[in-house]
Every structure is written in C-alpha cells, then in structure tokens.
Structure 1
Amino acid sequence: MAATLIIAGGMLVGTVLPLHAATLNTMDDVGAAIQACWTPPPDAGDSTVTLSFSFKRDGTLIGAPRPTAAKVAGDDKARKSFIDAAVAAVKNCTPLSFSPTLAQGIGGNVFTLQFVSPKK
C-alpha cells in the first residue's frame, strides 16, 4: 500500500516546520517539513512531478527518490530542473525526526509525493 502526500507550492504556509528540529507525528507533518525544503525553479509554469520514496524508521531515506510521473512546462532542461528541485527537497530535508509512533509504522513503506508548481 502506498501513502500519498500532495505538496503544492505556497500551501501549508503557517505550518512550516524548522528543519530537523521538530518531531514529526503525522504524515501531514512530514509533507509540511518537505514543503519547507522545496524551492521550485523560476518560471516553472503549470508543472507537477510525483516522486516515490521510502524512509527508514530513523528518518533517513531508503535509496533515492524517483520520479514516477511528471508534467512539466517547457523544454527538457526545464523538465530536468523541476524534477531535480523536487528530488533535492526530499534529499536535503532528511533525515527527519519521527515520533516513536510514526517511526513504528513508516519504515519501509513506499510513499508518493506530488510537487505542484505555485499558481501565478
């Protein structure tokens, strides 16, 4: 079973968590923490990318996040830049600090996270 988080640029304002400082209790907290790490490229247009990844119980990644779907405005360079920014957000945000309860259920599960460019 895959869990899904949807991250949209500009969403979750006010729930941004300090990196690596707060203990995360829910998958919504995880999404907010990763959102705080993401900076979409300028002129991303109407773009989305979905990444697939897994965590260990200690908050580190199991392998690299991989894109599973992408719709990116622009050329191949724009596509690479948008996908790279999303992958970097996940990598740069880890390790995350999970509460014992969240850590117990998160280890090894595959999650998908959709990054959506901010609406202009």
Structure 2
Amino acid sequence: MFHYCTPQLPVKDVVKTQEYYRDVLGFKIDWLWEDNFGCVSNGKVQLFFCKNENPIVGCCCYLDAEDVEAVYEKYKQNGANIVHGLEFQPWGMHEFVIQDIDGHFHRIGQETTELPQACTMELAS
C-alpha cells in the first residue's frame, strides 16, 4: 500500500522554478539542495524539482483543490499561463489546466455533481 505520490519534475533552474511556484502559484518553498534539487508544497501536495540541462517537458500532474474557483481566480490575477479555462467535465470534475514556466502541465480540479450542458442533453435523450 502506498501513502502518497510526489512527482519529480525536471527543470532547467530549480531556484527560478521554486520562486515561480511561490510567487505565482501560491506554493511554499520547503527546501533546496545545492541548487540542484528542491521541493515546494501547498496543503498536502508536494512537488520535487531536479535540475536537468535538457529536461523533458510536458509532464502533467493532477491537483485536487478544495475551492477550484478561488484557485482559478488567484492564478488569473497572478498571471499564470492558463491553457484551458475552468469547465465542468463529464467525468464529474470542475477543472482547468495551467502550464508552468518549464512546460509542465497541472490539471487542477474539484469534484462536482454538475455536468456540462452538452452532457446533460445527451443523458436526457
């Protein structure tokens, strides 16, 4: 049995990435080891960053939010790169997607009982 998962994302500059996560995304910088490896956290979520001169980008993490609408508004105000706006999804989530400065994606959502209008019409027919 596992207790939790901590993604380790490759980045070009760990310090710059940690500062972005703190200043734009509201995470806390937990620790940094020799500018090569670091950790940020927000609530129960931790993300590790490891320095890599040619990082593979495009990893995607899913972050479950307590109040996705508040997170979305905060990220808009802070200038986060929102690549998909806040939407109700047919799989029962209210979510949006951001891309960080290293090219990694975060799908951020909250469970909901509301469905998109198109799904509601399909279910009714």
TM-score bin, normalised by smaller chain: under 0.3
Instruction: Please give the TM-score of this superposition, normalised by the length of structure 1.
Output: 0.27
Q: Which fold has the larger relative contact order, with Cα–Cα distance below 8 Å and residues 6 or more apart in sequence?
A: 1
Higher share of residues assigned helix? 1
Higher share of residues assigned strand? 2
Larger radius of gyration: 2
Instruction: Please give the TM-score of this superposition, normalised by the length of structure 2.
Output: 0.26
